[in-house]
């Protein structure tokens, strides 16, 4: 599953630079996560780095994007390949 940021976000700016896929961006009111870029850090880290640094624990799994670890790893491979071009 991709992750999502809830409206409990306090816009502290610590999650955005931690995302290795650049999936986190400033939305209209709070930070948001682009699910097509989010791999839950699979391929980069053992745990999602945005979740690790979030001081208010407002980054749960996004139930609208049900992906297995294998699917997340495949997404990581595609994203990694496109960055190297």
pLDDT in tens, 13-25: 999 999 999 999 9
3-state secondary structure of 61: strand
Does residue 9 form part of some domain? no
What is the Cα–Cα distance from 42 to 76, expressed in whole angstroms? 7
- DSSP E strands in the chain: the ranges are 24-26, 31-33
What is Dmax (Cα atoms) for the chain? 37
Q: What is the pTM of this model?
A: 0.92
Does residue 1 form part of some domain? no
Residues 32, 36, 30: CA angle, nearest 5 degrees:
5
Give the pLDDT of residue 85: 60
Q: What is the pLDDT of residues 40-56, one digit of tens each?
A: 999 999 999 999 999 99
The CATH number assigned to the domain holding 75 equals: 3.30.70.20
Does residue 49 form part of some domain? yes
Number of structural domains, the chain?
1
Does residue 37 form part of some domain? yes
């Amino acid at each position: 599953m991709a992750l999502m940021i809830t409206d409990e976000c306090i816009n502290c700016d610590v999650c955005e630079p931690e995302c290795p896929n650049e999936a986190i961006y400033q939305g209209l009111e709070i930070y948001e996560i682009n699910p097509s870029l989010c791999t839950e850090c699979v391929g980069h880290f053992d745990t999602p780095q945005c979740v690790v640094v979030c001081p208010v624990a407002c980054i749960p799994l996004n139930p609208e994007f049900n992906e297995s670890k294998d699917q997340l790893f495949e997404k990581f491979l595609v994203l990694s390949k496109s960055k190297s071009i």
